[in-house]
Amino acid sequence: MLKLYLRALRAQDTKALEQIAVDASRLYITESSKKREKSKRSFGYSLYLTALESQCVITNTPNIEYNFSLLHVFSYSTFVPLSFAMEPTIEGQLRIAATSIFHSLPWSSYLRSSFTRLGIPYRYHTNLSATILTFYQVMSIKIAHGTKLTNIFDTAYKTALVTFINLCSRKLTTYVHKKLYFLPEWVISGFFAYYTAPFIQKFVRYGLIETLTWMLESAIHFVMRFTNDRLILPEDHEVPNIFMCSICRDFLNEPVELSGFFFCNDCLNMWFNKGLLAHPYTGENVSREMVSQSFLMKTITRRYKKLAIDEQQKQPNA
């Protein structure tokens, strides 16, 4: 990938950049195929189920009794049947059913009574509860997505890190609830569960290095949105297919990568916001955590725009 960055920065004309973009696309498709070997399948509602599982861990690890509010019950009982009916795969439907049972039971009471009978000191109950429930969450993600289960070390270290994340979310939920006491705890815990779910799911599916790369590219993308000038291609410039978004059929704007294909960031967000959970180009089931902020393609498209503008400005002098 570093070679492609250097080639893009050294390119002196748009034709060269077009070939570099083709090579980059092939590289991402190859990497996407390797990811499928680690995680064989996906489905659109998986990310929401991961968030529900995280919320279950968060709400079952404090030193209080687990309880539902009426609004919580209504929203939850609406989401689960709808998502089950709309999920086309048997693996997805099984995970939805399992998560609905997992999320609805008062595990805190069951686990604490079991720990007490076993003579485990009370001060360990919270961490043990979080670890056991998180282990289920990690295994649920792995089984649903066809990830290998034979590597015990892989499961252990992923369970440890996800447990730490869930415990941090628990502490943040408690802190925010003390400051904003009028907000129900399940709303606050749901917020933290939803925003940590993409990291958790990507980490369990693809590993730490892939997840850290994803986070780094997201951070770079956030900074670049405020620092880069918006370049506009000449009106009569013919856009090569490799630089076209498959949704809007226009030049890639803030390109993001999904399963080896590139789309405008805003176009793909709108696609997901409409409830469309199939890949816009291949039709396979996908979820949001699979989207990567491709710094490589951003570099190529920005360089392409600069060279296209320079080439147009030189034409009258030719």
Number of domains in the chain: 2
Which pLDDT score, from 0 to 100, does residue 308 have?
A: 86
* Distance of alpha carbon 130 from alpha carbon 135, whole angstroms: 8
Are residues 77 and 112 part of one domain?
yes
Residue at 228 is within a domain: no
Residue at 298 is within a domain: yes
Are residues 132 and 72 part of one domain?
yes
Q: What is the DSSP track for 228-244?
A: S------TTPPPPGGGB
Are residues 160 and 20 part of one domain?
no
- Global pTM? 0.74
Residue at 115 is within a domain: yes
Residue that finishes a domain, picked among 190, 216, 242: 216
Are residues 30 and 102 part of one domain?
no
Residue at 223 is within a domain: no
* Distance of alpha carbon 230 from alpha carbon 192, whole angstroms: 33
Q: Which letter does DSSP use for residue 191 in this model?
A: H
Q: Which letter does DSSP use for residue 59 in this model?
A: H
Residue at 70 is within a domain: yes
Which pLDDT score, from 0 to 100, does residue 79 have?
A: 54
Under the banding of pLDDT at 50, 70 and 90, the label for residue 71 is: very low
Residue at 66 is within a domain: yes
Are residues 124 and 30 part of one domain?
no
Query: Tens of pLDDT along 152-198?
Result: 899 999 999 999 999 999 999 989 999 998 888 888 888 999 999 98
Q: Which letter does DSSP use for residue 252 in this model?
A: -
Query: Tens of pLDDT along 233-277?
Result: 877 788 888 888 889 888 888 888 888 889 998 898 888 887 767
Residue that finishes a domain, picked among 216, 250, 280: 216
Encoded tokens for 201: 């799911």
Are residues 248 and 172 part of one domain?
no
Residue at 102 is within a domain: yes
CB 298 within 8 A of CB 256: no
**CATH code for position 302:** 3.30.40.10
Are residues 239 and 212 part of one domain?
no
Residue at 224 is within a domain: no
Q: Which domain holds residue 76?
A: 43-216
Are residues 284 and 161 part of one domain?
no
Are residues 57 and 181 part of one domain?
yes
Are residues 145 and 286 part of one domain?
no
CB 107 within 8 A of CB 169: no
